[in-house]
Amino acid sequence: MKCELCHQKDAETAIHVKGRGEEQELYVCRECANRERVRRQKKSQRTRKADSGDAPSGEGDGAAPKIFEAIMSAMSDLVSDLGQAAEDAGRAGREPELVELPCGRAEGVFRIGDRLHLEGLHLIGELEAVHRAMRALRLQLSGVTVDGVRDAGHVFRLMYAGSAERAKRVAEDILREERNARVRLFEEMPRVFGDSLCRSLAILKNCRLLSPGELFDLLSPLRLAALEKMLDGIGIEEVEAMLASIDLGSKEEAGTQEERDRADAERADEMNRRFEDVVLNERAEEKFL
């Protein structure tokens, strides 16, 4: 049979549409099915279907990964060495100097530029445990605070004192936990991940003012979705190009309030247009809604 919408191509799937106060089942071609789904989501205040169900039972159940203990256990031999380094520095009247561990060779999916991208650990609520572990080891995850947004995009440089090899082991532990965090988001906490994506999309579609730091932060969860091919209307290459183009140096703060507002308004209008037709695809809807 022919598609009941375009009446040209063969029908391939069934969809439900509302008409005259009641829901109807139509048999349509794949192109019309996709067009109807985008039409449902296109209204700027919506990023998902209106008839979403209840949260999946058991979501978020189970103990969170004990990342603090995992890192501390893996790096237990660091404590005495770093303690000695701190003691030596104390005799000299200063704290051990921290230097940056280059992370450019880390797997690309866990980096934005030369910084580690730890959005997964943030979303499952384990990022603060990582910071505590770092402080206990006299290491530091140094984030970016710009335009009033603390740890924008949840990207970090790893700062250390002492052995570079041991710092590399810490970085490997962190990235292993970030990988586990992303798996948990997809498999155990889809409502948490879906909420983050829909909030970001809603703001990008509707905001009237948008600073560089806010944009960087909003694109962070969208990068995870794009990596998993969960978005229609934009791909990972464009999301990463947007992230790379954002100046995190707060140069705009040197201007007047009027100049900053004008720049933020132009940026917001540009993002409103770009993300108007960006929606969760069928795979994401099946997972999150």
Residue 231 to residue 74: CA distance in whole angstroms: 37
Q: Where are the domains of the chain?
A: 1-42, 44-59+190-288, 67-187
Q: Tell me what pLDDT residue 27 has.
A: 80
Q: State how far the alpha carbon of 92 is from the alpha carbons of 79, 85, 86, in Å.
A: 20, 11, 10
Q: Give the dihedral sign, CA 192/198/204/207.
A: negative
Q: Tell me what pLDDT residue 69 has.
A: 59
- Among left, alpha and beta (phi > 0; psi -120 to 50; other), residue 147 is left
What's the first-to-final CA gap in the chain, in angstroms? 31
DSSP characters over 45-76: T-SS-TT--PPPTTTT-SPPP-HHHHHHHHTT
Tell me the three state secondary structure of residue 145: coil
Q: Which of 129, 137, 139 is nearest to 68 (CA)?
A: 129
Q: Tell me what pLDDT residue 109 has.
A: 97
Q: Tell me what pLDDT residue 268 has.
A: 98
Tokens of 163: 């052995």
pLDDT tens, position by position, for the chain (289 residues)? 888 788 888 888 888 776 655 777 778 888 887 777 777 666 444 555 444 444 444 444 444 445 555 565 555 544 444 555 555 455 445 667 899 999 988 999 999 999 999 999 999 999 999 999 898 888 999 999 998 899 999 999 999 988 899 899 999 999 999 999 999 999 999 999 999 999 999 999 999 999 999 999 999 999 999 999 999 999 999 999 999 999 888 676 677 889 999 999 999 999 999 999 999 999 888 887 6
